[in-house]
């Protein structure tokens, strides 16, 4: 008895069957997979070397904040209480009421208008912020040693580097033996961007 509604299964030739199984388990698949992995690895390394990295800033030790020293809390001194006076006889509130002396109240003087201390304080803070030195190691190509050398030459702010011209670049290149690093790493453009963001 045959079931007419079932599809007919294909017949596998006994001579070609083992070849089909050997093709699926072929070692060539390992070669293709290895080639694909090598290509992906090469592409990753080929795109990675072009990224600019400030190696000197990465090698610099990270600044650690000093640990705060705990301030000792003062212990309160014991307060001695005055001894209670001995009561000799009860006081009759009706007949022996104490007479209170009149009290004169002092009226406080009017408060004078305060000087604009807030404006003076804000101006002082702004001036101090302008005169503070910038962290020059934020520029690509400047590490802690080079930042210290620039500081010795009087360069401590991004605005100073942003204002350099071709003569200034050549002058600092000769003084610090930079071999053109300032132009290659575009210090002037970086300093303009950082000075605008500050």
What per-residue confidence (pLDDT) applies to 37?
93
Mean per-residue pLDDT over the chain, rounded: 75
CATH code where residue 158 lies: 1.10.150
Alpha helices in the chain (DSSP H): 17-24, 28-48, 55-59, 117-131, 144-152, 158-162, 166-176, 181-184, 187-197
pLDDT digits (tens, 9 = 90+) for 134-168: 888 888 888 899 889 988 988 888 888 999 998 99
Q: Is residue 143 part of a domain?
A: yes
Residues 6 or more apart whose Cβ sits within 8 Å of residue 173: 179, 180, 181, 182, 183
Give the range of the structural domain holding residue 138, as residue numbers without chain letter: 133-198
Is 29 domain-assigned? no
Tens-digit pLDDT profile for residues 36-88: 999 999 888 877 766 666 666 667 666 566 677 777 777 777 777 777 666 56
Cβ distance 186 to 180 under 8 Å?
A: no
**CA 30 – CA 58 distance, rounded (Å):** 40
Tell me if 13 is assigned to some domain: no
Is residue 70 a part of any domain in this protein?
no
Lowest mean pLDDT among 8-22, 74-88, 124-138: 8-22
Number of domains comprising the chain: 1
Task: For the full predicted model, state whether its pTM sits above 0.75.
Answer: no
Residue 179 located in a structural domain: yes
In a domain, 12, yes or no: no
The mean pLDDT of 92-118, rounded to a whole number, is: 66
| Residues 105 and 148: beta-carbon distance below 8 Å | no
**164 falls within a domain:** yes
- Please report whether residue 178 resides in a domain: yes
């Amino acid at each position: 008895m045959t079931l007419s509604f079932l599809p007919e299964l294909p017949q596998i030739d006994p001579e070609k069957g083992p070849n089909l199984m050997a093709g699926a388990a072929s070692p060539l698949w390992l070669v293709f997979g290895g080639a694909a992995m090598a290509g992906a690895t090469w592409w990753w390394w080929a795109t990675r070397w072009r990224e600019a990295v400030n190696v000197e800033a990465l090698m610099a030790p990270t600044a650690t904040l000093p640990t705060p020293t705990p301030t000792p809390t003062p212990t309160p001194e014991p307060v001695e209480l005055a001894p209670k006076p001995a009561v000799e006889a009860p006081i009759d509130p009706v007949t022996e009421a104490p007479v209170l002396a009149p009290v004169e109240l002092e009226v406080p003087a009017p408060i004078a208008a305060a000087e604009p201390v807030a404006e003076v304080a804000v101006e002082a803070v702004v001036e101090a912020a302008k005169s503070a030195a910038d962290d020059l190691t934020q520029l690509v190509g400047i590490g802690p040693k080079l930042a210290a050398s620039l500081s010795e030459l009087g360069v401590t702010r991004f605005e100073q580097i942003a204002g350099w011209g071709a003569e200034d670049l050549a002058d600092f290149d000769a003084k610090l033996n930079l071999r053109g690093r300032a132009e290659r790493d575009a210090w002037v453009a970086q300093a303009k961007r950082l000075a605008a963001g500050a």
